Amino acid sequence: MSYDDIIGSIGVGIILLAYFLNIFSFIPKEGKFYFVLNIIGASIACYASTLIHYIPFIILEGTWGVVSLFGLIKTFKK
C-alpha cells in the first residue's frame, strides 16, 4: 500500500466512522463531534486526492469539509 492509499484510507475511514456513529445513534447528527470527524476525515481524504491529482475527489472532499465546517459553525451559534 502506498502513502497515498494509506492517507486516503484514513480519511475515508474517519468519514465512515462518523456516519456509522450517527446512523446507530452513538452521536447526534447535529453534534459538534460529528462535524469535527467529518471535517478531519474530508480534509485528509482531500489531501490524499491532491497527492494523486484526482480533481473529482478533491472537489467532493473539499466540499464535504466546507459544508461540515459550516455545520459546526451553526452548532456554535445555537
Tens digits of per-residue pLDDT, 29-45? 889 999 999 999 999 99
Q: Given this model, what pLDDT does residue 29 score?
A: 85
Is 0.85 surpassed by the pTM of this model?
yes
State how far the Cα of 64 lies from the Cα of 59, in Å rounded to an integer.
8
Task: Say how many C-beta atoms besides its own lie within 10 A of residue 40's C-beta.
Answer: 17
Nearest of 1, 77, 12, 21 to residue 47 by alpha carbon: 12
**Structural domain harbouring 68:** 3-77
Q: Given this model, what pLDDT does residue 63 score?
A: 97
Q: Are 27 and 34 in contact (CB under 8 A)?
A: yes
Task: Say how many C-beta atoms besides its own lie within 10 A of residue 16's C-beta.
Answer: 12
Q: Given this model, what pLDDT does residue 78 score?
A: 77
State how far the Cα of 60 lies from the Cα of 32, in Å rounded to an integer.
21
Give me the number of domains the chain comprises.
1
Q: 22-31: per-residue pLDDT in tens?
A: 999 999 988 9
